[in-house]
Amino acid sequence: MIEVGGNKFKLWLGTELKKVAEKLIEGGKKNIISNPSCKLINPFTLIINFSVNNEKYQLILQGNYKEKYKDSDDGNLDIDEKSMFLLINQSRKNWFKKS
């Protein structure tokens, strides 16, 4: 067997560019967020559970929820999905993956 031609540098460059392109494509994909639900654990802690691409995540927000806690039944907060999605999107850095 004999190998003829080829260029090791071009081969290396092509594989490196392919790796970079795959990372760019993966980073550009949209995440599908679904099934949001929230609960007030105490007057200062709000927990939002949701799914991202069929994987379960949780978001814990701390703040002053005293009035909403008093008005809620068993910590179930009466909030519409649009507001939950807004809170989830704004707090992306604080997502925890549930195991």
Enumerate the domain spans of the chain: 33-97
pLDDT tens-place values along the chain, 99 residues long: 777 778 889 989 999 999 999 888 888 888 889 999 999 998 899 999 999 988 999 999 999 988 888 888 777 787 888 989 999 999 989 999 987
Q: Where are the beta strands (DSSP E) in 1-54?
A: 33-42, 45-52
Residue 3's pLDDT is what? 72
Supply the pTM of this predicted model: 0.69
pLDDT, residue 57, reads 95
Written as one letter, the residue type at 63 is G
Burial of 88: CB neighbours in 10 Å, binned 0-12, 13-18, 19+:
buried
Give me 77's structure tokens. 């907060």
Which of 98, 82, 1 shows the shortest CA–CA distance to 50? 98
